[in-house]
Amino acid sequence: MAHLLLSSRIEYKVGVAIVRHVLPIVIALGTMGNILSFFVLMRKRMRYTSVYFYLAMLSCADTVILYLSGFKTWIRLVTGEMEASTVERNGKTPQM
């Protein structure tokens, strides 16, 4: 049983390290893509149809969600707050 706890703890650390390094890249690329699609969809030629307006607003909403969810998660991982909230939910300290 101790072997299972150790392997899951190592997997957790690897997962946190991956998210810590990949999430800023995803946020940056997603922001650039949403800004680009917003400007393309707001061209004069595309503003005549309401579908393009809705898609432009969708890119704005996607950017807001990206920052509210992704950036918040990344900040919690970097500051170590996520591990503290995991301990509080389980009611016991994870073993190293």
Are 82 and 76 a contacting pair, CB within 8 Å? yes
CA dist 67 and 61 (Å) reads: 10
Q: What is the pLDDT along the chain (96 residues), one digit of tens a residue?
A: 555 554 467 887 888 888 889 999 999 999 999 999 999 998 888 878 889 999 999 999 999 999 999 888 888 888 877 665 554 455 555 554
- Domain range summary for the chain, segments of one domain joined by +: 47-80
pTM: 0.68
Task: Give me the amino acid identity at 9.
Answer: R
Q: What is the DSSP letter of 46?
A: G
